[in-house]
Structure formats: C-alpha cells, structure tokens
Structure 1
Amino acid sequence: MKPIDIFKALANETRLQILEWLKEPEKHFSPQPGEVSDFQKAGVCVSQFHEKLNVTQSTASQHLSILYRAGLVTVKRHGKWTYYKRNEEAFHQLKEMIGHEI
C-alpha cells in the first residue's frame, strides 16, 4: 500500500462516493441474489455500482480497479460476478500513517 496511490484514489469525487456507500452497503444498495445476499460477507456487485453511479459498467469497473490497486477495497469472485468491499484494515493503517507520519 503506497501512500501516493491511496491519495490519488481518494482525489476523485466518484471514488469517495463509492467508499462512502461501501461503509454501509445495506443502506445504499438493493438486496443481491441468494448466495451473495450478505453485503458484509460478499460485498457489492459491480453492476450495482454502474447503475447507482449512472455510468457504464466499464467506467464503474475502472473506479473500482483504482480503489483495489490502492488497497482500499477487496475483491471476491462468485461465478461470473465480481464483488467489492471496503478494506477496513487499510483505512486503519491510513489513519495511523497520517497520525504518525504526516
């Protein structure tokens, strides 16, 4: 996790919105199919982001990929679907880094 990658990822309003939604996904997204219905376990499907952001699935995937490369979200595959969750440990480390180094 490189700080510059994290700050670049956070420097975009859409990505900040995604992270805010992922903090409490049950408040911001409709229920998902059976085996992945638990947001806390599975995360949120990329298709739900593209609908909520009103962008193409490709654009939503790009934003999520940047957040993933920065270490701010985790990814799980269920069949052909990709699900994203906030990486709370990364946020804890970021808070510690800012408090001690910056």
Structure 2
Amino acid sequence: MKITGLQQVTTTLKAIAEPMRLRILHALQQGEWCVCELVYALEVPQSTLSTHLQVLRQAGLVAIRQCGKWIYYRLHPQGVVPVDVLLTMLQSNLSMDPRIARDTARLQQCLQYRVEDCCVMGFRFAPIQNEGGDDSCGPANCCS
C-alpha cells in the first residue's frame, strides 16, 4: 500500500505531537547523538527513549548510524517531511521551555567527553559533580 501525501502529513504530525518527541527532535536538530547521550540529556529511561525514537523513525523523521556497539540518531537528511523547517518555525516557542534549555546544556556537557567524536558514556553512568556544582557525565563513569 502506497502512502499518500495526506497520510504522510498525518503520520508526521502524530509523531511530533508529543512533548518528549519534540524534545528529541530539538536535540537532533543540534546534531547526531548516541542513545546514551540522549538518555542522559533528556533524563528519561532508555526504554522510553527507544519507544519514542521508533515512532520518529517509522514516520521517516530520523535516521540511524551504527558505529561499533553504539547507535547514533540524527534528523533524516532526506526525510519525507523537512522536519528541520518545522522545528525552525517552532523554535521561538521551544526555546522558552526550561526543559529544552536543560536538554541543550546537558547535550553540550556530553560533547566534552567524546573521544574522536564517538560516545564513550555508555548506559551505566552516575552523575558526578563538576566545579560548578551541577551534575555532568564523564569518562570516569563510562562502561566501555
């Protein structure tokens, strides 16, 4: 069965009409992220994140890349709907949400601990206290 334009638009809107999935898409608009980095940044269990990522993949909004044991997610470069355009239109509203600001800050922390642009965090890490007193991820807490 071929999906029509109307069906695709409906599928896309259903996929993004959920706060966690909007947060995921906003994070992916900033770059490609490993599942464990998204778990850390969005502060959700891996199973919850995977469920939402699957919905976004089925809607054709995100793509994956596997690198060894890690799976990286990004906005689909040739997605059926240009989700980056949609997110840009929503940016002013999204940027006012404190959760989005926290997500962005936590993703930036994760970048500090990548080795050759690869995630080294893993899923079994505990928050550590940095000099500023807030929690962050770090290589001392990775499971690789």
Q: Higher helix share goes to which structure?
A: 1
**Structure 1 equivalent of residue 57 of structure 2:** 68
RCO higher in structure (CA 8 A, sep ≥6): 1
Task: Please give the residue correspondences for 1:85-96 in structure 2 after superposition, counting only pairs within 5 Å.
Answer: 85-90=74-79, 91-92=81-82
Please provide the CA RMSD for this pair: 2.2
How many angstroms does 1:92 deviate by? Answer: 2.8
* Higher Rg of the two aligned structures: 2
* Contact 1:22–1:86 (Cα < 8 Å) also in 2: yes
Q: Is there any run of 5+ residues in structure 1 with no aligned partner, and where? A: 26-42, 96-102
Which residue does 1:31 correspond to in 2?
Answer: none
Listed as ranges, the gaps of 5+ residues in structure 2 are 86-144
Q: Deviations for 1:6-48, whole angstroms, at most 9, x for unmatched residues?
A: 11111101111111111123xxxxxxxxxxxxxxxxx210111
Distance in 2 separating the partners of 1:74 and 1:5:
16
Q: TM-score, normalised by structure 2?
A: 0.48
> What is the percentage of aligned positions where both structures have the same residue?
36
Residues 1:23 and 2:29 are matched in the alignment: yes
Contact kept, 8 Å, 2:34 with 2:70, in 1: the verdict is yes
TM-score normalised by length of structure 1? 0.66
Gap change, CA 1:46 and 1:88, over 3 Å in 2: same
4+ residue stretches of structure 1 with deviation over 4 A? none
Equivalences, count: 78
Structure 2 counterpart of 1:12, from 11, 14, 18: 18
